Amino acid sequence: MAVNRKEKTTGRLQQKMAEIDSVDAQGHRNVQVYQLAYNLAMEVFRESKAFPKEEAFSLIDQIRRSSRSVAANVAEAFRKRQYPNMFVNKLVESDAKVTETQVWVDFACDCDYLSSERRDDFVKRYEAIGKMLSGMIAKSR
């Protein structure tokens, strides 16, 4: 008997959720993409401390908020993993925050608050996080 598409999709999703469920009591903190995003957000925070004070309520706030949202949305996705659509939605939101953070990093570089080398490093590492998120999204569909 042939398995219909919905059953295949449900099976793949249940398999992925079982893999995620195998993560120990540390929960989202053991998810590699969360760890990378969290550590990178902390680097963004440290770098932004040197930005001019007049940027406190604009660029500094925006770059810190978006960089932290990458990790926060991964953590929320982990919590919502039993709800497939919500799980994917949170991963998509996290990926969008990756792109937003890259935009703010570009602004910081163009305003001479970050060196082009540091910008390139941030962009490269956020691209890697984005690829990991895209892989997780694709496996969940």
What is the structure's pLDDT at 30?
A: 80
pLDDT in tens, 15-58: 666 665 555 456 887 889 999 999 999 999 999 999 999 999 99
**10 Å Cβ neighbour count for 18?**
9
What is the structure's pLDDT at 125?
A: 98
Q: Residue 114's closest CA among 36, 52, 70?
A: 52
Q: Judge whether residue 8 has pLDDT over 80.
A: no
Q: List the chain domain ranges.
A: 5-140
- Higher pLDDT: 19 or 12? It is 12
pTM: 0.80
* Paired tokens of 3: 């398995």
Three-state secondary-structure class, residue 50: coil
CATH C-level class of 5-140: mainly alpha
pLDDT in tens, 65-81: 999 999 999 999 998 88
Let me know the angle formed at the C-alpha of 38 by 32 and 42, rounded to the nearest 5 degrees.
145
